[in-house]
A and B are shown apart, each in its own frame.
Chain A
Amino acid sequence: MSSVNRGSVKKSKGKKAPARMFIFPACVLVIYGILFTINPNKALMALKTSGHLLFTIAQPLVFVFVIMLALNLFVKPAQIVRLFGEGVRIKGIVLSVVAGIISMGPIYAWYPLLKNLREEGAGNGPIAIFLYSRAVKPFLLPVMIAYFGWVYVVILTLLTVFASIAIGCFMSVLMKK
């Protein structure tokens, strides 16, 4: 008996991703170009404001790269996958939260994998927890703290973790109906 699973990744969509990244900044640059011809003084002022903003964020961005590097060195996608499949008991919940927090990259890259995991028996609860706890981004914490302060970041992070667990429980119950 044989079966063919072709639904894991769509070829055409993924190929467009790199070009698509530049559409938004290109549009902004076009707006700048137009404004430079209409009102060069104000357009230059806008550019200086952006430059100042970039300078402010530069230092936290260095930390962002360092944390990214650390996660890439010591956390492997294979380890993240292994955190799933423990059901919605306490261990499974904790592992799904941890998997969501340490996972990196665009969500698009994770959907095929999550689909595969569910086909292999991973529950709706852990998947929902994983997707929500991705809102906690360890590598972006320096930028978040620079903008909002550590008190805000700690409180929001804790509430995000609690909310991810609540969503996992909701989804487990509602998907059974």
Chain B
Amino acid sequence: MKIAISSEGTDLKARVGHRFGISPYLIITDLGTGNFEAVQNPGSLGQHGTGVQTIVLAISKDVKAVLTGYCSPTARRHLETNGIEIFTGLSGTVGEVLESYKKGEIKKTETATIEREPGKRVVDRAIFIHAMKRSGNQFASMLPIFLGVVLLIGLLNTFVSRNFLAALFSGNVVLDTFLGAFFGSILAGNAINSYVIGGELLQYGISLFTVTALIITWVTVGLVQLPVEIAALGRKFALLRNGICFLLSIPIAIITVFIVNLVTR
């Protein structure tokens, strides 16, 4: 059985972290073997969404109990939903807390239960507010680049002639689809921008083959984020995956447009 103890450092002499979500490390100990590992807590970086990653980390490490100073109600709810016990109000060194836990001296913190009349409310207020905030943040983070793209399209519509853009494409289906896939691979950002750009390119007479390849590779191939993918998943995986996705985008774009033309004819 594994347990996670929030910690200020990487060994058993370190102090127990005050808050589960933002402590610098989690010491994950296997009670069976006595082995432990110190994992950097993603939540300690204080960025949006990293608190959730702390919970996910605990779940993915197959931890059965979390020992910490304080655990927020939201984190507690997620952990308990996934069968993880929570022990709070702890202080001292990680080693001391671990020994107390082994001896059964630490009592589980009871969850503050929310009384709810049957059938009255499916989603409680706190969860709804949290989801609203999260959606608001996600929506807001999408807007700056999106507005930039909309403004840029206004410029293109006004200053760039239809003939100029059409001249960039040869009229050859495979070559134009390849070009669309290429532009989609080097551009990055929220997929909504690819829809807006693609939709406007259609107005300019650019083929649906090109636009479809651009939309596909916009999300599936990422030259900009390739270094991050290599760092996370390895060079071979990242290069192979991006290469296959790029090559596959061309037949998929051609097949998509072919079927659409068949259906809508």
Which residue numbers of A lie inside 8 Å of B, CB to CB? 1-9, 11, 13-15, 17-18, 21-22, 24-25, 27-29, 31-32, 35, 42-43, 45-51, 53-54, 57, 64-65, 68-69, 72-73, 76-78, 81-82, 104-109, 111-118, 120, 124, 127-128, 131-132, 134-135, 137, 140, 143-144, 147-149, 151-152, 155-156, 159-160, 163, 166-167, 170-171, 174-175
Q: Say whether chain B's binding surface is mostly helix, strand, loop, or mixed.
A: helix
Stretch in B110-118, B148-156, B172-180 touching the partner: B148-156
A50, B198: Cβ atoms under 8 Å? no
Min CB gap A23→B, angstroms: 9
Q: Is B123 an interface residue (CB 8 A)?
A: yes
Q: Is B223 an interface residue (CB 8 A)?
A: no
Q: Say whether chain A's binding surface is mostly helix, strand, loop, or mixed.
A: helix
Min CB gap B20→A, angstroms: 15
Which chain B residues lie closer than 8 Å to A3 at the CB level? Answer: 37-38
B40, A6: Cβ atoms under 8 Å? yes
Which chain B residues lie closer than 8 Å to A147 at the CB level? Answer: 195-196, 198-199, 202
Min CB gap B167→A, angstroms: 21
Chain B contact residue count (CB 8 A cutoff) = 84
A175, B53: Cβ atoms under 8 Å? no
Interchain pairs with CB closer than 8 A, number: 232
* Alpha-carbon separation in the docked complex, A11 to B196 (Å): 32
Min CB gap A103→B, angstroms: 11
B211-249: which residues lie under 8 A (CB-CB) from chain A?
212, 215-216, 219-220, 222, 225, 228-229, 231-233, 236-237, 240-241, 244-245, 248
B158, A49: Cβ atoms under 8 Å? yes
* Alpha-carbon separation in the docked complex, A23 to B216 (Å): 25
Q: Is B108 an interface residue (CB 8 A)?
A: no
The closest CB in chain A to the CB of B10 belongs to A4
A73, B155: Cβ atoms under 8 Å? no
Which chain B residues lie closer than 8 Å to A111 at the CB level? Answer: 228-229, 231-233
A73, B131: Cβ atoms under 8 Å? yes
The closest CB in chain B to the CB of A9 belongs to B42
* A-B pairs with lowest CB-CB distance, top 10: A50-B154, A25-B148, A147-B199, A111-B232, A46-B158, A72-B131, A49-B154, A46-B154, A135-B219, A115-B232
* Alpha-carbon separation in the docked complex, A81 to B57 (Å): 10
Partner of B244, one of A156, A160, A170: A170
The closest CB in chain A to the CB of B132 belongs to A69
Which chain A residues lie closer than 8 Å to B128 at the CB level? Answer: 73
B38, A5: Cβ atoms under 8 Å? yes
B37, A78: Cβ atoms under 8 Å? no
Partner of B39, one of A5, A13, A118: A5
B237, A124: Cβ atoms under 8 Å? yes
* Alpha-carbon separation in the docked complex, A175 to B234 (Å): 11
B259, A155: Cβ atoms under 8 Å? yes
Which chain B residues lie closer than 8 Å to A4 at the CB level? Answer: 10, 37-40
B78, A76: Cβ atoms under 8 Å? yes
